[in-house]
């Protein structure tokens, strides 16, 4: 059994040995955002009282903003380049720099 509050919260109602226990189950309408590679999967769910579960109303993919991708790339490569430089491994440093610049230009050109 479920109870819906005015704020859109759905509570699951259970009768355990005469004690009524209400626990948060979900929201009547809920949006979930999940990262999938270079996209966000945005899923809108709605609670169906007859089924007693959430059903998918819509689902779409949104591209991750270019600025976020560039920052993630920088966060990944700059420490590696710095470490290679500190260790005196110029070959590895050059390889990482070239790889970083290539991936950066790919993101910027998309």
- For the whole prediction, is pTM greater than 0.75? no
Q: Domain map of the chain by residue range? A: 2-63, 66-109
Question: Per residue of the chain (110 residues), what is the pLDDT tens digit?
Answer: 898 999 999 999 998 888 989 999 999 999 999 999 999 999 999 999 999 999 999 999 999 999 999 999 999 999 999 999 999 999 999 999 999 999 999 999 97
The per-residue b/e assignment along 17-43, b for 16 or more CB within 10 angstroms, e otherwise, is eeeeeeeebbbbeeeeeeeeeeebeeb
Q: Kindly give, in sequence order, each residue whose CB lies less than 8 Å from that of residue 100, ignoring residues fewer than 6 positions away.
A: 73, 77, 78, 81
């Amino acid at each position: 059994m479920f109870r819906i509050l005015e704020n859109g919260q759905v509570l699951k109602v259970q009768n355990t040995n005469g004690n009524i226990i209400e626990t948060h189950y979900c929201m009547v309408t809920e949006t979930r955002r999940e990262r999938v590679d270079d996209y966000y999967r945005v899923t809108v769910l709605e609670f169906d009282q007859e089924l007693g579960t959430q059903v998918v109303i819509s689902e779409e993919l949104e591209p991750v903003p270019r600025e976020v991708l560039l920052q993630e790339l920088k966060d990944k490569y700059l420490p590696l380049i710095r470490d290679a430089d500190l260790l005196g491994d110029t070959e590895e440093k050059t390889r990482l720099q070239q790889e970083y610049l290539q991936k950066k230009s790919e993101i910027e050109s998309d």
